Structure 1
Amino acid sequence: MTEAATRRHLLATTLGLAALGAVATPSAAQAPKRIVATFTVLADMAQNVAGEAALVESLTRPGAEIHDYEPTPLDVVRARSADLVLWNGMGLERWFERFFSRAGSTRQAVLTEGITPIGIGQGPYENQPNPHAWMSPTLALVYVENIRKALAGIDPANAATYAANAERYAAQIRAVDARLRESLARLPADRRVLATCEGAFSYLTRDYDLREAYLWPINAEDEGTPRQVRAMIDAVRRTRVPAVFCESTVNDRPMRQVAREAGARYGGALFVDSLTAEDGPAPTYLKLLEVNADIILRGFFGNQAPR
């Protein structure tokens, strides 16, 4: 995000919370803390917890692929000037440890602390943690609490503000979780398979009693190989899955081939590693969850998808 976009996001967040009567007012007249997150999903979560007391920006832009992001010299400057850097961990930001060694003594927080990871099932990263824990609304509550603690740690004067904002935001996540649970429970019992390009949905499928199938386990060098495509075609035929999906930050061509050859519907692109711009369908984490559920349900039910 640019500085201007960050300030627009903060203003929009503040106005939206004010409309709900739920803004916790920061204490004292002081310059807002400056927080940097490694990607847009974390930045949005953090801004909701920070409210007016901090400005949050993302190192990566909306729509960016984060696994193999290449930090720029400007990123180093932004991190060094921040009061706090937030990152996911679990091997997601493979570039981050190299990057952070150049970012000086800025404080940092790993937002997956306390989460028991699901292991990657195959490929070059087999048995390493699947990093996409934020895709589970239940585990998103852990992220929110870790953000609250990290912000209070650098800014104890506004600890009450962060606690109130975190409580409000957690309630919104729980409400989305309840709607998703009710909607996804309507998927046919014998076809409860979420077939995607990347294996980024392990935590979400566990939450909602779905099985997972994917072309590749994690975005890396080998994506959409003939062997991966053939294995997925066989899996889709075997399970009679009505629809398959990809992710918004990767090439969907291999999965479209799977859909054609397996006789399934291509259901569309799901949002995982990045939010969209403000005028896109998933500009916030909450919208990301809701939009993904709508895409999945339309893929399975077509025009008869439950609302």
Structure 2
Amino acid sequence: MKKRFTQLFLYTLLSSLLLLGACAETKSDVDKNGKVHIVTTIAQIAEPMSIIGGEHVVVESLMGPGVDPHLYKATQGDIAKLQSSDIVLYSGLNLEGNMIEAFEKIGTKKPVNGISESIPKEQLLQDEDGAIDPHVWFDIDLWKISLDTATEELKKFAPDHAEEFDANKEKYFAELDALLAESKDKLTQIPDEKRVLVTAHDAFGYFGRAYDMTVVGLQGLSTEDEIGISDIDDTISILMDYKIPAVFVESSINQNSIKAVIQGAEKKGLSVKLGGELYSDAMGDAGTEEGTYIGMYKHNVKTIFDSLSEEAK
């Protein structure tokens, strides 16, 4: 009887340890050290919030360089990070369409905020079918609205540091204002007849509106949209009409469609070069200039300016 009791006790103890171990595996491996743990979907949120939150936050981004948020599906590891976080921040406007159900479930237990959904609807762009363009970070003024919403969420969670968060935000927003002024000064130098931005998918609508440029995307607002022969032919016609010298690929999008456009234009007698790689739905590698929101934005502006204004130099 004693032996059976001992075996039962050991079995129960082992089962408990295994259960505890399984539970531990669902937790994030981030060492918070008493800091607010923020998990974001895209780095365009994560990097600015690490600046605004300063020493009081630990910020993780689920989607790294080259990752397409339109197609992204949460892994078990992602769910564990979301569950172990204090605050979840995502962009919204259906950018992360495959994660909506996860956000809704986790949102019953902690703050989960689609920060771009705070932007007034009249300031948002729509396609011909009425779908809202989610790529709002390319309009610096709109992205400030989103980041302000994220900051308010952080202040509610950690009110003792609210003044510091506001001070960090205002300092960072001053840098964004300077970036906007610098970008306008540079891009307005592109000749009017060359102010056509051709990219792999329609991610630069807000960018075009901000800098008075015509934007042509082979795919629609989402990379789930299919590219047809007519889309390629229509784009080639635009290049021919305006004698556009360059088109652009994106870091998170397959390059084949853009290459087909270049080849098609060449067959019709127009030499079109690959202007370079732009960051659209994802930023660059962490630790690089392009891995910051400001650095990514500057890279895009320089790449576009250097390619489209070349003939005017």
Q: Which has the larger radius of gyration?
A: 2
**Residue of structure 1 aligned with 2:150, choices 143, 147, 150:** 147
Q: From the superposition, tell whether residues 280 and 219 of structure 1 become closer, same or farther in structure 2 (CA, over 3 Å).
A: farther
Asked if the contact 2:205–2:215 (Cα under 8 Å) also holds between the matched residues in 1, the reply is yes
Match of 1:265 among 273, 288, 302: 273
The residue aligned with 2:97 is 94
Q: Kindly state the Cα deviation for residue 302 of structure 1 after the two structures are TM-superposed.
A: 3.5
- How far off its partner does 1:89 sit? 1.0
SS in 2 for 1:95: helix
Give secondary structure in 2 for the equivalent of 1:282: helix
State the identity as a percent: 26
* In structure 1, distance between residues paired with 2:256 and 2:275: 13
With over 3 angstroms needed to count, the CA separation of the structure-2 counterparts of 1:95 and 1:141, relative to structure 1, is: same
* Count of aligned residue pairs for this structure pair: 277
Comparing 165-174 with 112-121, greater Cα deviation is found at 112-121
Displacement after TM superposition at 1:303 (Å): 8.8
Would you say 1:237 and 2:245 are equivalent positions? no
RMSD over aligned Cα atoms: 2.1
| Shift of residue 304, structure 1, vs aligned partner | 7.0
Aligned residue for 2:197? 194
Q: Does structure 2 conserve the Cα–Cα contact (< 8 Å) formed by 1:144 and 1:170?
A: no
CA distance in 1, matches of 2:204, 2:144: 17
Q: Aligned pair in 2 of structure 1 residues 158, 229: CA closer, same or farther (>3 Å)? A: same
User: Given that residues 119 and 146 in structure 2 are in contact (C-alpha distance below 8 angstroms), is that contact kept between their aligned partners in structure 1?
Assistant: no
- Aligned-pair CA distance for 1:101: 3.6
Asked whether the equivalents of residues 79 and 106 of structure 1 are also in contact (C-alpha less than 8 Å), the reply is: no
Shift of 1:147: 1.7
Instruction: Give me the whole-angstrom Cα distance separating, in 1, the residues matched to 2:189 and 2:153.
Output: 38
**Code of the aligned partner of 1:296:** I
Q: Give the equivalent residue in structure 2 for 1:291.
A: 299
Distance apart, 1:281 and its partner CA? 5.3
1:167-221 CA distances to partner (integer Å, 9 max, x unpaired)?
Answer: 0110111111111000000011122111111111111111111111111112333
Give the structure 2 partner of residue 135 of structure 1.
138
- Residues 107-136 of structure 1 deviation map (CA, whole Å, 9 limit, x = unaligned): 112211124310023xxxx21100000111
Deviation at 1:223, TM superposition (A): 4.0
* Structure number with higher helix proportion: 2
Matching of residue 117 in structure 1 with residue 121 in structure 2: no
> Equivalent residues in 2 for 1:150-165 (5 A)?
150-165=153-168
Return the offset for 1:280: 4.6
CA separation in 2, counterparts of 1:281 and 1:295? Answer: 14
Q: Distance in 2 between matches of 1:238 and 1:221?
A: 29
CA distance in 2: counterparts of 1:181 and 1:220, whole angstroms: 28
Partner Cα separation in structure 1 for residue 66 and residue 151 of structure 2: 26
